[in-house]
Amino acid sequence: MAVSVDEAVSTGPARDRTPPVRRRSGRGRSVLEVALLTVLAVVMLFPVLWMIETSIKENRDVYAVPAEFIGFTVTMEHFKDVFVGPDGGRSALSVAFLNSVLVAGASTVLATLLGVPAAWAYSRFAVKAKKDQLFFILSTRFMPPVVVVIPIFLMYRQVGLIDSKLGLILIYAAYNLPFTIWMMKGFVDEVPAEYEDAAMLDGYTRLQAFRRYTLPLLVPGIAATAVFALIFSWNEFVFAIFLTSSDSVRTAPPAIAGLIGGTTTDWGLVAAASVVFALPVLVFAYLVRKHLIAGVTLGAVRR
């Protein structure tokens, strides 16, 4: 799993300097290609489009039969409702979004802080039964959250982590750590150990050598790994719904799910909340896109 992800985001060793095959420009595309791509795009993007449309429709237009694709009245009411409560104060949803940012951010930082040094150690040092240890680490991801959530629930109740943001941060970090170690190990393996050897002979300690000369080369890998960890934590639903209950602690996924049900469902609000929920990851991935596709080393080692 980690290997395929790794391959998908790194452009491979730097000695491969052949430029990517140039795509034919838009004008050069055949009519058939354009038609097929359009069909594909419409099919893939329809749910997203529908979500965005619903979020800016008035409620009576949402239920209109036949559905109105164009020509409905545009309203921003739903987006206002996402952030502002009925009493004029902060809405429960906006609190949930803040919780999501905090929980996803903190758990990603924690998993990265623990995972990167671990990956470096597994890559660089002769560790006893290294393969078995790595397999054990990976095996903790074999079980889906829903299988372990009951025991976790019972343990959390014992230690008082139930219905707390810290509890969610810890479980997400624990869940992301194996993935971080595996993916980062691939990136560390790509950086020749000789840089550190050379730095140690220059007079640095092993940790200084890592920090000065290896860590900067790992930044693209760390960015890529962090994005995946962040997406997992941001989208996570099962742990969140089982381990939290109060509005002040809940993250966005269970909070949005909680909008559905009861006597009536405000579909406009659900759609608007979903749009707001989808945006941060998109923006973040866009910001680090350069790192996601950048190679790991610039290449000064002859092999």
- Positions that interact with other proteins (CB under 8 A): 14, 192, 194-195, 197-206, 208, 213, 216-217, 297-303
CB of 208 to other proteins, least distance (A): 8
Centroid of chain to Cα 168: 15
CB of 234 to other proteins, least distance (A): 31
Among 239, 128, 227, 234, smallest CA distance to 180 is for 227
Structure tokens belonging to residue 113: 């802080």
H helix and E strand count, the chain: 15, 0
Cα angle at 231 between 230 and 233, to 5 degrees? 65
* Rg (the chain; Cα; Å): 24
Cα(153)–Cα(145) distance, integer angstroms: 11
Give 160 or 216: the residue with its C-beta nearer to other proteins.
216
DSSP letter for 289, please. Answer: H
CB of 189 to other proteins, least distance (A): 16
Is the preceding peptide bond at 66 cis, omega within 30 degrees of 0?
yes
CB of 214 to other proteins, least distance (A): 10
CB of 215 to other proteins, least distance (A): 10
CB of 209 to other proteins, least distance (A): 9
CB of 125 to other proteins, least distance (A): 10
Cα(251)–Cα(100) distance, integer angstroms: 5
DSSP letter for 26, please. Answer: G
Give 133 or 140: the residue with its C-beta nearer to other proteins.
133
Give 187 or 213: the residue with its C-beta nearer to other proteins.
213
Among 260, 263, 255, smallest CA distance to 82 is for 255
Residue with tokens 């409560």: 85
Give 121 or 257: the residue with its C-beta nearer to other proteins.
121
Give 195 or 228: the residue with its C-beta nearer to other proteins.
195
Give 42 or 198: the residue with its C-beta nearer to other proteins.
198
Residues forming a β-bridge with 57: 74
Give 200 or 238: the residue with its C-beta nearer to other proteins.
200
Give 172 or 195: the residue with its C-beta nearer to other proteins.
195
- Signed CA dihedral, 200, 203, 207, 212: sign only: negative
Q: How many CA atoms lie within 13 A of 59 on its CB side?
A: 10
CB of 271 to other proteins, least distance (A): 46
